[in-house]
Amino acid sequence: MYCEEAGIMAKKQAAKRSPRVKKVVNEALRDTGSPRVSNGLSEAIMGFDVGSMGAQLSQVDTLFKNNRWYLISNMRQVLSEVYVEHGLIQTLVNVPVDDAFRGGVMIKSKQLSPEQLEKLNILVERTNLIDSVVAQALKWNRLFGGAGIVVITDQDPSTPLDVDAIGEEDKLEFRACDMWELFWDKQNTEGFNPALQEHEYEYYSYYGIKLHKSRVMKMKGMTAPSFIRPRLRGWGFSVVESLVRSINQYLKSNDLAFEVLDEFKIDVYKIRGLVGTLLSADGTAQIQQRIALANQQKNFQSAITMDAEDDYIQKQLSFSGLAEVQREIRMQIACDMRMPLTKIFGISAAGWNSGEDDIENYNGMIESEIRSKSKYDLLRVLELMCKKEFGYIPDDLAIEFKPLRILSSEQQENVKTAKFNRLMQARTAGLISDYEFRVASNRDDLLGVKLDLETDIIELEDGDMAKGAAPDQEELGASRIDTQEYVTGTTYEKKEAP
């Protein structure tokens, strides 16, 4: 538009000039058909393309061309197939969840006795609750963008779950399912609240069974923006969504490497009179027969018989640059996954990097994305199990995950030694009782054997010093047994020398 206005103004000014000046200006303004070079300051600011506003790097055309404009989270078959067939997808989905629950969890509650806590831990292990239910539901949640844990009881599944009615003899099971196994009737039609961006429903359809929503612990994947959220039908989106581009690069690089390896050696036959032979009626068949015989002889006899004017050479393709490209693609995948190369491809850290920083970043991702988001559902499952086994739900029920960092055997022994020394100091100072000392030793397996929690302290006969009684100050220190009894509160039976 600016060029047209400038041209009109130039023509008006030219009309006011003399005929000779008009002729020169008209020839300058006449379109000669030669390409114009636009490399001025205005082109750099407004763009080098005609009609563009802004430099090329500021345009959104590249973003438009590199978007799919559809969600793989809505393609159940594609996600299911790539999860089964590609180990890279399995690593992305399974490894973070398996690492998050590695070693199990520690259940804590002051309202439960140590025997009840031990019984609950044994029940969790025997039913394989974490691996087959909670962890599996989290894996489906990462893969599909949504999952759930179905609570199965003797009650009518179409009615709300009555937790108070669950007894010791009642049936209580948990089952992990993905979002595609759970449907509600008003999906993508009615019941959508645009203000809350949520669907209002009461029942799921679980393989034709009418299931009340209180019997499903719903898990949502990553939260999408409000513009895309209605297309996900009340669920989140898959972690594979942002990895399509990098995974395609990885697959194409592997396919290219296979093709290069398959065509690494190429046989070239130079046959005299090839063009003339091909023009004949059976020329093609003769050439094919000639090459087939040469290949058979070369494979079995490692020799080739050919005419003196023919020639045979063998060319090899080069692999240079392919390894560097694949390394960069693997780094891109690790960046998108937020996982170190060691976890994905088993590649150790190179150079001066020890790999500890990468593992720390990975552990931080697990803490924020897996563990923190799974505590709520895991606690709800444990609460229902407590209601069934003990008849009540503790108010202070809590869980604690095992440390993600794996210590060597020497480091583990050093940690146990430090814990045991602290316990001994607390016991010696009288801060904890003998029973608490035994419980703490058994819980952390500090001695390698389980201490008996029911053994009582030896009671002394009448006339001897009672437990915890302080000896006379004049005699304090004169007898080692008296000193230990005063400091620790533990009584010892005195034995006479033979």
What are the backbone dihedrals phi and psi of residue 216, each rounded to the nearest 5 degrees, phi first? Answer: -130, 125
Structure tokens at 473: 């100050």
Confidence tier at 165 by pLDDT (50, 70, 90): very high
Whose tokens are 């146990």? That residue is 416
Tell me how far apart the alpha carbons of residues 130 and 378 are, in angstroms, rounded to a whole number.
8
Tell me how far apart the alpha carbons of residues 55 and 46 are, in angstroms, rounded to a whole number.
6
Query: What's the mean pLDDT when you consider all of the chain?
Result: 78
Tell me how far apart the alpha carbons of residues 25 and 28 are, in angstroms, rounded to a whole number.
5
- Cα separation values, 144 from 74, 221, 355, Å: 8, 8, 31
Amino acid identity for residue 221 in this structure: G
Least confident among 49-58, 172-181, 282-291, 449-458 = 49-58
pLDDT tens across 150-162, in order? 999 999 999 999 9
Amino acid identity for residue 341 in this structure: L
Residue 212 near residue 202 (C-beta atoms within 8 A): yes
Please give the angle made by the CA atoms of 348, 349 and 355, to the nearest 5 degrees. 110
DSSP state of 164: G
Please give the angle made by the CA atoms of 374, 378 and 380, to the nearest 5 degrees. 125
pLDDT tens across 48-81, in order? 555 555 566 777 888 888 888 999 999 999 999 9
Look at residue 429 and tell me whether its pLDDT is greater than 70.
yes
Residue 201 near residue 191 (C-beta atoms within 8 A): yes
376 class by beta-carbon count within 10 Å (0-12 exposed, 13-18 middle, 19+ buried): exposed
Q: Which helix (H) or strand (E) holds 178?
A: strand 172-178
Confidence tier at 289 by pLDDT (50, 70, 90): confident
The alpha carbon of 111 is separated from its chain's Cα centroid by a whole number of angstroms, namely 35
DSSP state of 30: S
Tell me how far apart the alpha carbons of residues 203 and 226 are, in angstroms, rounded to a whole number.
24
Structure tokens at 154: 């003797």
Give the count of beta carbons closer than 10 Å to the beta carbon of residue 35.
6
Tell me how far apart the alpha carbons of residues 30 and 25 are, in angstroms, rounded to a whole number.
8
Strand partners, 178: 147
Q: Which helix (H) or strand (E) holds 216?
A: strand 216-220
Q: Which residues contact 226 (CB under 8 A, 6 or more apart)?
A: 197
For residues 443 and 48, the model is more confident at 443
Q: Which helix (H) or strand (E) holds 401?
A: strand 398-401
What are the backbone dihedrals phi and psi of residue 346, each rounded to the nearest 5 degrees, phi first? Answer: 75, 25
Look at residue 239 and tell me whether its pLDDT is greater than 90.
yes
Please give the angle made by the CA atoms of 269, 270 and 274, to the nearest 5 degrees. 110
Structure tokens at 460: 């002394």
Look at residue 265 and tell me whether its pLDDT is greater than 80.
no
391-417 mean pLDDT: 86
Q: Which residues contact 342 (CB under 8 A, 6 or more apart)?
A: 348, 349, 355, 358, 359
281-291 mean pLDDT: 84
What pLDDT, on a 0 to 100 scale, did the predictor assign at position 145?
A: 94
Q: What is the dihedral of CA 37, 42, 46, 51, to 10 degrees?
A: -50
Count how many Cα atoms sit within 13 Å of the Cα of residue 396 in the half-sphere of its side chain.
7
Residues in the chain: 498
Give the count of beta carbons closer than 10 Å to the beta carbon of residue 78.
13
pLDDT tens across 353-383, in order? 556 777 888 888 898 889 988 999 999 999 9
Q: Which helix (H) or strand (E) holds 266?
A: strand 265-270
Q: Which residues contact 282 (CB under 8 A, 6 or more apart)?
A: none
What pLDDT, on a 0 to 100 scale, did the predictor assign at position 443?
A: 82
The alpha carbon of 287 is separated from its chain's Cα centroid by a whole number of angstroms, namely 56
What pLDDT, on a 0 to 100 scale, did the predictor assign at position 22?
A: 52
